[in-house]
Amino acid sequence: MLRRTKIVATLGPATDSPEMIGKLIEAGLNVVRLNFSHGTHESHRQTIALVRRIAKEMNRTIGILQDLAGPKIRLGDLAQGELEVQNGDTMVLKAGEASDDPGIIPVGYPYLAEDVEKDERILLADGLVEILVKEIKDGLVYCEVIVGGKLSSHKGINLPSSNLRVPSFTGKDKKDLALGLELGVDFVALSFVRHEKDLIQVREILNQVENPPLLIAKIEKPQAVDRLPQILAQVDGAMVARGDLAVEMRLEEVPLIQKRIIRLARKEGKPVITATQMLRSMMENPRPTRAEATDVANAVLDGTDAVMLSDETAVGSFPVESVAMLDRIAHYTEGKMEDMDFEAQDTEVVPATEGSISRAACMLARELRAAAIVAATTSGSSARLVSRFRPKTAVIAITTSEEVQRQLALSWGVVPVLSPNYDNTDQMFEQAKKDALNWGLAKGGDRLVITAGVPVGVPGTTNLVKVMDMID
C-alpha cells in the first residue's frame, strides 16, 4: 500500500554521508531538512549537491527544505560559566553579551528592560527554568525564580508575552536565503513568525525568482497562533513547531493547537508538517516509547501532510531506524483509517472552479472505484487541492517542472511524476495512462479520474475532470 503521509528528516553529522542519505531514502524519506542554525554555507552547498546526486541515482523525488535560523535570543557569557538556581531565588537580568558580575545574568537582547513588563513570565534553557519579572529599574530586570534548574552560557531565553523588536527575518537569514535560492531549495521555512507582516520581505525576495521555493511558516509563537488564518493566507504551507511552541505556551494547550493548525492548513489546501520530538527517545534507543508511537499515529489521524524528525536523524544513534519507524506507524495507521468524508470538509475558502473540480474528482474516484486520480499540474496547485480532501485513491501529479515535482513530495498522498511536454489534452491523457501503469497504480481494465486545465500548460486554469478507462 502506498504511504500517504510524507516523512521529513533533518540531516546532520549522523547522516550527511552518501551512504546514510541513501539509506534514509530507502527507508522512506521524502524531504530533507537542512537546519541553517548550524553548519556553514560550504557544508550546506555540499550537502545539497549530495542529496540531488543520490536522489537522481536512486530515481527518487526528494525535496529539500531550508530551515532559516531566525532571531533566537540567548543568554550571554555568565561570569561563573554555569549556575543552579532554586525556587524563590532572585535573579537579575541585564542586556549584554557578557557579565563579570556573578550576580547579573547577561541577555543578548538590547531592549530587554524596555520590552518586558512586571509580572511577565520568562523561560530559560528551553523552558526548564521559569522566572517572573518583579521589578524593572535602571536597566536591570529583577525576577523571582518560579521553577529552578541549571543555567549556563548561551542557553536560549523565551519571552512569550513580549512584543520583541527583533525581526523574524534577520540579516543572517537573508544571506542564507540567497544561498538557498542559488542552490534551488524547494521549501524555505521562516522561524518565529508572529504576524503576517513578518512574511512580506521574504515573499518579495522569492517573487524575484523564476521558480521560487514554497514558503513555510513555522508556528511557534503565541502571537502566530492568534493570527493563524492571516498567516496561512500569506504562505504556501505551515509547520507545527512544537518545540518552542510548548515553551512559549502552556504544555496542555499544544495538542489542540496542533490539531487546529493542521485543520486550517488543510482547509486552505496547503501542506502542513508536524515537527519536534516525534521519536525523541530513538536518539539513544532502537525503538520508540509507546507514547511516541501514539503521538505519530495521532498526527497521521489528524491528517498532517508530513511528520518530521530533527535530532533523531541529525545527531541520533538510530537515524535510519527512526525513518523506518515513522514509515511503519504511518503505513499501519493509514491502513486502518476509514475514508474521510471529504464532502463534509470545509471548502468555502478554495477558489470556486479549482475547488469544485478537485472535490468532484474525489467524489467520482470514490463512487466509480477508480484506481487513481491523475492531476495534470503546472504549478502544483491542482494536485494539492485534490490532496486536501485526503482521498483513499492514489493521487498521481504529472508535471513538466522538476521544481514542482520536488515541491509535491511534501503533499499528502501525492505521487509526483515528471512528464514530457504535451501540446493538447489527448497527449496529456495518454501520458496519464502511461504514468499510472509505470507506477503500478493502475492496470488494464481500471479507471482513472483525471483533472486538468484547458488551455494546457497555463497555471491556475483547472477546469476539466474526465473519467478514463484503461484499455488492455
33 is catalytic: yes
CB-CB contact of 380 with 414 (8 Å): no
CATH superfamily of 82-158: PK beta-barrel domain-like (2.40.33.10)
From the list 47, 274, 276, 462, the catalytic residue is 276
Q: What is the CATH number of domain 6-71+168-335?
A: 3.20.20.60
Per DSSP, the three-state class of 7 is strand
**Contacts with 76 (C-beta within 8 Å, 6 or more apart), sequence order:** 96, 97, 98, 99, 106, 107, 108, 153, 154
- Hey, which residues does 317 pair with through a beta bridge? none
Backbone phi, psi, residue 58, to 5°: -90, 0
From the list 4, 33, 366, 406, the catalytic residue is 33
**Contacts with 335 (C-beta within 8 Å, 6 or more apart), sequence order:** 1
Is-cis flag, bond preceding 420, omega within 30?
A: no
For the entire predicted model, the pTM comes to 0.92
218 is catalytic: yes
Where b means 16+ CB within 10 Å and e means fewer, 397-429 reads: bbbbbebbbbbbbbbbbbbbbebeebeebeebb
Q: Decide if domain 342-469 falls under CATH 3.40.1380.20.
A: yes
Backbone phi, psi, residue 187, to 5°: -140, 145
Cα 283-300-62 angle, rounded to 5 deg: 70
Rounded Cα gap, residues 402 and 416, in angstroms = 10
276 is catalytic: yes
From the list 23, 60, 72, 74, the catalytic residue is 74
274 is catalytic: no
**Contacts with 220 (C-beta within 8 Å, 6 or more apart), sequence order:** 191, 192, 193, 241, 242, 243, 244, 245, 248
Rounded Cα gap, residues 40 and 38, in angstroms = 7
pLDDT tens, residue order, the chain (472 aa): 789 999 999 999 999 999 999 999 999 999 999 999 999 999 999 999 999 999 999 999 999 999 999 998 999 999 988 899 999 999 999 999 999 999 999 999 999 999 999 999 999 988 899 999 999 999 999 999 999 999 999 888 999 888 888 889 999 999 999 999 999 999 999 999 999 999 999 999 999 999 999 999 999 999 999 999 999 999 999 999 998 899 889 899 999 999 999 999 999 999 999 999 999 999 999 999 999 999 999 999 999 999 999 999 999 999 999 999 999 999 999 998 864 444 445 445 455 688 889 999 999 999 999 999 999 999 999 999 999 999 989 999 999 999 999 999 999 999 999 998 888 888 888 888 888 888 888 888 899 999 987 777 777 678 889 999 987 5
Q: Do domains 82-158 and 342-469 have the same CATH topology?
A: no
What is the residue whose three cell numbers read 541520533?
316
From the list 6, 218, 280, 390, the catalytic residue is 218
Where b means 16+ CB within 10 Å and e means fewer, 313-324 reads: bbebebbbbbbb
CB-CB contact of 199 with 218 (8 Å): no
What residues does each domain of the chain span?
Answer: 6-71+168-335, 82-158, 342-469
pLDDT, residue 275, reads: 97
